[in-house]
Amino acid sequence: MGGTYLLTASETTAAVTEALRAGYRHVDAAEGYATEAEVAEGLRQSGVPRGDVFITSKVYPTDSNMLVKDCDAVIASCEGSLAKMQMDSFDLYLIHTARAGEKRVEQWKGLVELQKRGKCKSIGVSNYAIDHLEEIRQAGLPMPAANQLECTRSASGRRCCVT
């Protein structure tokens, strides 16, 4: 169904419920959207089994005080999101944006650890440019399974692929 960004709580629950009843099988949530509990409620109300729906969520790289999260804070964010959604794991968990500066690789290590713990089946990033992806490669870490990109006029021209 795409994302739940800019929806109110009630709109989110209703949109997810109706989208899943209409046959959609992917829901995109995020810590920063503050709609994770409502996404989970929409899933419950739809009657579609959890195993039939691909759930993506994202960790925002900073906290509410705009402090950049470290590895442990990224892990805690994921665990908090899973608790809000009353789920054991995400199908795909992403770092929402590359704005972590020097802590980008540390945050990625958090996602790698979450995957090892079984909290995320796949891990990835969102809106990372080539140089951000190269940081991960140069650190010798597993590469992201996905780089979810914003596709708008303002985002066009961004170089985002690594071969």
H helix or E strand, kind and range, residue 94: strand 90-95
Structure confidence at residue 122 (pLDDT):
98
Structure confidence at residue 156 (pLDDT):
54
Residue by residue, DSSP assigns 50-65 as: GGGSEEEEEE-SB-TT
Structure confidence at residue 4 (pLDDT):
83
- Look over the chain and give the mean of its residue pLDDT values, rounded to a whole number: 92
Question: At residue 30, what are phi and psi to the nearest 5 degrees?
Answer: -165, 145
Q: Is the pLDDT of residue 116 over 90?
A: yes
What pTM does this model have? 0.91
For the ranges 79-83, 88-92, 131-135, 159-163, which has the lowest average pLDDT?
159-163
Active site (annotated) includes residue 33: yes
Mean pLDDT confidence for 135-150: 95
pLDDT in tens, 23-69: 999 999 999 999 999 999 999 999 999 999 999 999 999 998 899 99
Say how far apart CA 147 and CA 119 lie, in whole Å: 19
Q: Is the pLDDT of residue 158 over 90?
A: no
pLDDT tier for residue 5 given thresholds of 50, 70 and 90: confident
Structure confidence at residue 77 (pLDDT):
97
Structure confidence at residue 120 (pLDDT):
98
Check 33, 60, 93, 128 and give the catalytic one: 33
Structure confidence at residue 46 (pLDDT):
98
